[in-house]
Amino acid sequence: MSDPPITEATHPALITSLAADYPACVLSLTILFHPDPQRIGHWCELPLGPRGKSLALGRLQPAFCSGTGQEAALEERHVSRQALLLQYDQHGLRLARQPGACRCRLNGQLLGDEAVALDRATLDAGCILQLGHAVVLWVHSGPPRGEQHKEVAPALLGSSAALCALRQQIARTGAADLDVLLLGETGTGKEEVANALHRVSGRAQQPLVAINMAAIPVGLAAALLFGSVRGAYTGATASPGYFRQAEGGTLFLDEIGDAPVEIQPQLLRALQQRQVQVVGGALEAVDVRVIAATDSELDTEASSFSGALRHRLGSFELLLPPLRERREDIGELLLAFVRREAAALDAEALLPSLDADPMLIARWAEVVQRLARYDWPGNVRELANAARQLLLGSGGQLSIPPALEARLQGVSEAPQEAAQARARVLAEVTLDDVRAAHVASGYEVAATARRLGLSRQAVYRRLKEAGFRLASELAQGELDAALAAAAGDERRAALALRVSAQGLRARLRQRGDT
């Protein structure tokens, strides 16, 4: 039987039910790397109770779950049958390497003959355990995973408890018609969550219109959002605006924290009354669900964001976890990214596999345990960028390129230092990097951001410095001339003008050409 739909009345009950998603605490062992790539992401969960328990960790036990009901031990021949003795309870974990066992490393350091005790605080933060030269595990305490529900948001990769809870929230809120505010750091997957919310909603067969508020010029914001009538201002043509384009469906307002101050009162009215003021025209009713997203702090004294708008946007809020709080997903994510990039970069020979050279497998294990200890201030987007750098910089032999190596060594887990690291990552991207990535991406901002490992907001800020324009900034005569030269082919015209084809189409829709 499916869950009842969420309404304003049932919202408090939903909050209570979400708290129940974390009924207990477990010791979780997740495979970050294994010579068999199909095993990466599998996990084992052991209850942390008041009574102590012990387990011999090795080749034949424990069984790791895949999320599909199948279970199997590590079964890696270079791992001893009994490599480590784990003794654990609600207060922590004790690791003891067994006599004659394979080499084992904890957070990169070799384990000797003396047992190592990890208190609960250390276990909550998590640690990396490497068995032999080929298996890397993420070990931590936390809530159990529960049902995966990967079909809810297939673009969100990972099997962590944090993602399980997020997918459950998406499934529950998707059927509701509440507006949703997505909060989270840059690169955490807010666009993917917005797509998933729309896909599982009753509006799934209607349009999903995605807008980046950071890219909307202040002078055109009202017309672009709410529409205009011909002659409303110089050069104005009849245009429906984004709200009316999303009629019956979902409007995704990305980077809502960058909404111009001048337009915020009109946004508030549109949300409260579901009416938009067409520029030069009348009020018109709209039937649209709004999903907004931001990585900005909207509630600080320094913020110019309207408090009333902020609270109206957040009929329901979803907080997306940063990658450093779900490190057990790093192996699964990295594998997906290197597989995606390998074909384009002619680097398939570097991919891990069961029949790969043992030295390549050992290098992959070393790389993964290094990546798992990094804080990832740019989150999943930065990890995708690192996967590309890894393949590009390796040549014929897997290795961490110098720039990535410097980044891995330079970031502490302290929050203030992580914030400084995010600024350093942005500063490392030169204008030449921006130009090269933007050209290679066909002048599409989202693709450029993925190539650079930056947020789209950061890319927008750098494009003007790099000498690029947005389609919305083109002179009317220049636009018409380019379309005529391209015989009406919008993509060819966009390439000639060095602007986004999507942005050009939006500009043409805004003036009523399409």
Say yes or no to pLDDT of 22 above 60.
Answer: no
Paired tokens of 380: 């999943």
Q: Residue 221: what are its φ and ψ, rounded to 5°?
A: -60, -50
Q: What is the pLDDT of residue 15?
A: 41
- When divided into structural domains, the chain yields a total of 5
pTM comes to 0.76
With H, G, I as helix, E, B as strand and everything else as coil, classify residue 372. helix
Judgement on whether residues 293 and 345 belong to the same structural domain of the protein: no
Tokens 């450029």: give the residue. Answer: 448
Judgement on whether residues 77 and 41 belong to the same structural domain of the protein: yes
Least confident residue range of 126-135, 144-153, 413-422: 413-422
Torsional sign, CA 426, 432, 437, 439: positive
Paired tokens of 486: 């391209």
Taking the C-alpha atoms of residue 300 and residue 327, their distance in angstroms, rounded to an integer, is 29
Judgement on whether residues 331 and 377 belong to the same structural domain of the protein: yes
Judgement on whether residues 191 and 285 belong to the same structural domain of the protein: yes
Q: Which of 319, 343, 366 corresponds to the end of one domain?
A: 319
Q: Residue 16: inside a domain, yes or no?
A: no
Neighbours of 110 (CB within 10 A): 10
Q: Which CATH number does the domain housing residue 233 bear?
A: 3.40.50.300
Judgement on whether residues 361 and 302 belong to the same structural domain of the protein: no
In this prediction, residues 181-196 reach a mean pLDDT of 94
Q: Which CATH number does the domain housing residue 133 bear?
A: 2.60.200.20
Ramachandran bin of 443, using left for φ above 0, alpha for ψ from -120 to 50, beta for the remaining angles: left
Paired tokens of 346: 């002619």
Amino acid at 57: L
Q: What is the pLDDT of residue 431?
A: 84
Confidence band for 492, pLDDT divided at 50, 70 and 90: confident
58-104 pLDDT per residue, tens: 999 999 999 887 899 999 999 999 999 999 999 999 999 999 999 99
User: H or E segment at 491?
Assistant: helix 490-497
Give the domain extent around 441. 432-465
Judgement on whether residues 61 and 173 belong to the same structural domain of the protein: no
Judgement on whether residues 65 and 88 belong to the same structural domain of the protein: yes
Number of helices (H) and strands (E) in the chain: give both, helices first.
19, 19
Q: Residue 13: inside a domain, yes or no?
A: no
Say yes or no to pLDDT of 226 above 50.
Answer: yes
Q: What is the pLDDT of residue 2?
A: 46
CA distance readout (Å), 170 to 147, 150, 190, 200, 250: 13, 11, 12, 8, 15
Q: Which CATH number does the domain housing residue 352 bear?
A: 1.10.8
CA distance readout (Å), 55 to 32, 62, 443: 20, 8, 55
Least confident residue range of 228-242, 300-314, 390-404: 228-242
Computed over every residue of the chain, the mean pLDDT equals 86
Q: Residue 92: what are its φ and ψ, rounded to 5°?
A: 160, -160
Confidence band for 514, pLDDT divided at 50, 70 and 90: low
Q: Residue 339: inside a domain, yes or no?
A: yes
Candidates 48, 134, 73, 150; CA nearest to 369 is 134
Dihedral angle at the C-alpha atoms of 366, 368, 369, 372, nearest 10 degrees? 160
CA 445 to chain centre: 17
In this prediction, residues 220-249 reach a mean pLDDT of 84
Amino acid at 369: Q
Q: Residue 15: inside a domain, yes or no?
A: no
Select the more confidently predicted residue: 35 or 233: 35
Taking the C-alpha atoms of residue 425 and residue 38, their distance in angstroms, rounded to an integer, is 32
Q: Which of 110, 142, 174 corresponds to the end of one domain?
A: 142
Confidence band for 1, pLDDT divided at 50, 70 and 90: very low
Say yes or no to pLDDT of 470 above 90.
Answer: no
Q: Residue 482: inside a domain, yes or no?
A: yes
Q: Residue 353: inside a domain, yes or no?
A: yes
Confidence band for 478, pLDDT divided at 50, 70 and 90: confident
Q: What is the pLDDT of residue 426?
A: 57
Judgement on whether residues 394 and 436 belong to the same structural domain of the protein: no
Residue 448 near residue 470 (C-beta atoms within 8 A): no
275-305 pLDDT per residue, tens: 998 888 889 999 999 999 999 888 776 677 8
> What percent of the chain clears pLDDT 70, i.e. is strictly above it?
88
In this prediction, residues 390-394 reach a mean pLDDT of 88
Q: What is the DSSP letter of 455?
A: -
Q: What is the pLDDT of residue 511?
A: 64
329-359 pLDDT per residue, tens: 999 999 999 999 998 888 999 999 999 999 9
Select the more confidently predicted residue: 341 or 419: 341
Q: Which of 109, 142, 175 corresponds to the end of one domain?
A: 142
Q: Is the peptide bond before 62 cis (omega within 30 degrees of 0)?
A: yes
Confidence band for 447, pLDDT divided at 50, 70 and 90: confident
Least confident residue range of 28-32, 189-193, 287-291, 510-514: 510-514
Judgement on whether residues 281 and 209 belong to the same structural domain of the protein: yes
* Residues 6 or more apart in contact with residue 357 via CB below 8 angstroms: none
Q: Residue 20: inside a domain, yes or no?
A: no
Judgement on whether residues 414 and 448 belong to the same structural domain of the protein: no
Judgement on whether residues 419 and 334 belong to the same structural domain of the protein: yes
Residue 434 exposed, middle or buried by CB count within 10 Å (0-12, 13-18, 19+): buried
Judgement on whether residues 112 and 240 belong to the same structural domain of the protein: no
Least confident residue range of 149-153, 270-274, 499-503: 499-503
Helices (H), ranges, 177-263: 190-199, 221-226, 241-245
Q: Residue 134: inside a domain, yes or no?
A: yes
In this prediction, residues 476-504 reach a mean pLDDT of 85
Candidates 460, 323, 456, 459; CA nearest to 387 is 323
Neighbours of 5 (CB within 10 A): 14
Say yes or no to pLDDT of 8 above 70.
Answer: no
